[in-house]
Amino acid sequence: MKATIKSENSEASVPSDRDGIFALIRAETSFIAVDRLIFSTLTNWIKSTLEASIASAPTPAAKAQRWANLGVAIQGEFQHADAERCFRQAVNLFTLANRRYAVESLHAQVTLAYCIAYQRKPRSQWEPLSLATIQAATEHFGETHDSTLHARSSYALALSWNYDLYMALPLYLELYDISRHKYGLHDQRTADKMKTIGGIYCQRGTHRVGARWLRKALTILEATLGPDHSATTVTASHLVGAYMFMGELAIALPLSQRLAATAERTLGPDNSDTILHKMNVAALQLMTNSVPEATSLLLQLEASLAQRAELTRQLRDQLRDVRANLGLAYWINGNDASAMAYYTRILESHPSKDNMLLLYHFADDLSTSSRLRKGALARVRAFVVATQDPAPETWCETCTSCCEPIVGRRSMCQMCPKTLFFFCSACVQQQPARVQSFCKHDQRTSVYETVTPPCRFLLEDDLMMMNDKSYGDVDAKYSAYYVLGSAHKGWTSFIAVDRLIFSTLTTWIKTALEASIASAPTPVAKAARWLQLGITYQDEVDHAQADAVRVLCAHDTSATTYTVTPPPRRYFFEADLMAIGDKPFDVVDAAYDEYRAFCDTHAVPMAERLHRTSLPSLCRDWHPMV
């Protein structure tokens, strides 16, 4: 379809924004921006005209082609659910017209499968269709035909979009080899495969390898398509991200500034892509300690977005990110009140876990006596109480080292810029050299601080402040704390806190228990409290006091039958042992050795101990040699 605008006095045959188009031309804006405005004006008309023409198509094949064209137009607006409906109609009509293996039919099948995959529907709904299309294209056209390559590339893209990077990468490497031999190394189609491979390597955490692929792709795309082409700018944007994660900020910043200038020149200052590139520039300026420049740029972006009468979802998310970076800028500058105001505003306008974690991370950095800290933690507590988080031990960030979601305590270097690199506890403990490689300062000055997940932090804070509560309240709160630790990964980091809590509370527990015995309503209740007091003394290896308590307990409970309960620490040891049946034999065996050492240290009678043969995992996996 061709449209021509001859002059300002011309009459448009379709509804248009002609004044806006000529304003862009007078401003000597790139034709890319003019094209975008023209297409945004015509898109709805194109879609409605296509859909209206389907019924009058002379043959099923012609109807199928129009459905496919309509799907392409809708897919270009990222409305994949509606595009799926169009491509499904096209596939059915191509089959009806006995053109199932025609090029256009196979193309419709490929795109249908991708539309389903893009919505992240179950894999069983799109993978069989993708594989069947690849097989049909290979049998009818050969392995290196454009239709076959398109089908395989679409399948690999669907896999990577659905997070199966380990299966997608070898497929893309194979496609790269085919493209290199078929089109040559310096062809844009080969560069496109290189760009995708680089992106997958970055997603897998191997940023240096990914950056090498992206640099090669960028060089080819700049030579073949030019620096302003969307494929070139997308590749450069991925490369900026790789440099950021590598800590190569001095290389990333000028490249990001070049992208922002290109986007502003070709797309205009209000385009979402332009805003995104400027946000990246501001983030890099914060990381390189150019805080005044970053703050100035972020305030301009905030004012530009806030004054718009209507914001799309994408622009609303960008406004949120701009304000989050402004909060960080004020935080770095020591303006805690302004940072608090921004983080609070973000959480109130967009109540979500990641926004709550922004406020929590800020609060954790403040002095424990700070009034702002107390207010921030109160808001964090209100959010945690009001929401049901299925993964309270999991952070929204991934570990910079292993690129896996951070579960349990999150670590960061105090000497690096705030919020630049986050690490999981496992990488800090097991791969310290790799973790320190991200620090661009003197690595001998690296000091890593850890932050407890907010839900656990609040429970621990409550436990440490319960000196004036009843024993039952403390026991109930600790039970909730223990359930959290048992139900989620990262349990090993609970051990130190567990010991701290017990050492802090033990004296108070003994005093409270002994004082409560006289008020017990029945002899049985008194006996139970004497027994709990005895267990507390026994757990401290204070056997003389424990024996004295047993005498008193026996006097009150001569006719009572008791259930023997192990002390809390031993109980938790035994519960953990019985719950790790899915671990390897050597892990369970080591845990049992630790339990046995505990029992030996505290003189636990053999009759009360959990024996090795009681552990299901050891009985199942231990096959002694005859």
Structure tokens at 368: 């424990």
Q: Are residue 603 and residue 545 in the same domain, yes or no?
A: no
Residue that wins the pLDDT comparison between 441 and 104: 104
In a domain, 145, yes or no: no
In a domain, 580, yes or no: yes
Give pLDDT tens digits for 399-410: 888 888 888 888
Residue that wins the pLDDT comparison between 178 and 546: 178
Report how far residue 439's alpha carbon sits from residue 1's, in angstroms, rounded to the nearest whole number: 55
pLDDT the model gives residue 562: 42
In a domain, 586, yes or no: yes
Residue that wins the pLDDT comparison between 247 and 241: 241
Beta carbons within 10 angstroms of residue 323's beta carbon: 24
Say which residues have a Cβ less than 8 Å from residue 24's Cβ, sequence separation at least 6. 33, 34, 37, 268
Indicate the number of domains in the chain: 3
Residue that is written with structure tokens 């990110």 in the block: 321
In a domain, 211, yes or no: no
Give pLDDT tens digits for 591-607: 777 777 777 777 777 76
pLDDT the model gives residue 365: 86
Q: Are residue 477 and residue 553 in the same domain, yes or no?
A: yes
Yes or no: say if 201 and 172 are a contact pair by the CB < 8 Å rule: no
Domain stops at, among 526, 559, 592: 559
Question: Virtual CA dihedral for 153, 158, 164, 166, nearest 10 degrees?
Answer: 0
- 150 pLDDT above the threshold of 80: yes
pLDDT the model gives residue 204: 85
Segment 362-391 shows an average pLDDT of 88
pLDDT the model gives residue 568: 63
In a domain, 519, yes or no: yes
pLDDT the model gives residue 38: 63
Question: Virtual CA dihedral for 54, 56, 60, 65, nearest 10 degrees?
Answer: -40
Give pLDDT tens digits for 474-488: 677 777 777 776 666
* Structure confidence at residue 378 as a pLDDT band (50, 70, 90): very high
Does the global pTM surpass 0.85? no
Tell me the residue range of the domain where 488 lies. Answer: 473-559
- 623 pLDDT above the threshold of 80: no
pLDDT the model gives residue 61: 86
Range of weakest confidence among 6-10, 226-230, 347-351: 6-10
Domain stops at, among 559, 584, 611: 559
* Structure confidence at residue 296 as a pLDDT band (50, 70, 90): very high
Q: Are residue 480 and residue 554 in the same domain, yes or no?
A: yes
Report how far residue 101's alpha carbon sits from residue 91's, in angstroms, rounded to the nearest whole number: 10
Residue that is written with structure tokens 């804070």 in the block: 461
In a domain, 486, yes or no: yes
- 194 pLDDT above the threshold of 80: yes
In a domain, 597, yes or no: yes
Q: Are residue 578 and residue 594 in the same domain, yes or no?
A: yes
Domain stops at, among 543, 559, 575: 559
Yes or no: say if 517 and 529 are a contact pair by the CB < 8 Å rule: yes
Residue that wins the pLDDT comparison between 564 and 299: 299
Q: Are residue 406 and residue 479 in the same domain, yes or no?
A: no
Q: Are residue 399 and residue 439 in the same domain, yes or no?
A: yes
pLDDT the model gives residue 217: 95
Task: Please tell me the total number of residues recorded for the chain in this structure.
Answer: 626
Q: Are residue 582 and residue 538 in the same domain, yes or no?
A: no
pLDDT the model gives residue 125: 92
Question: Virtual CA dihedral for 459, 461, 464, 469, nearest 10 degrees?
Answer: -70
pLDDT the model gives residue 10: 39
Yes or no: say if 424 and 410 are a contact pair by the CB < 8 Å rule: yes
Beta carbons within 10 angstroms of residue 432's beta carbon: 14
70 half-sphere exposure, CB direction, 13 A CA radius: 25
Q: Are residue 550 and residue 603 in the same domain, yes or no?
A: no
Q: Are residue 606 and residue 530 in the same domain, yes or no?
A: no
Residue of 116, 159, 113 lying closest to 136 (CA atoms): 113
Q: Are residue 555 and residue 612 in the same domain, yes or no?
A: no
Amino acid at 276: L
Q: Are residue 576 and residue 622 in the same domain, yes or no?
A: yes
- 180 pLDDT above the threshold of 90: yes
Segment 576-588 shows an average pLDDT of 68
Cα dihedral sign, 410-413-419-420: negative
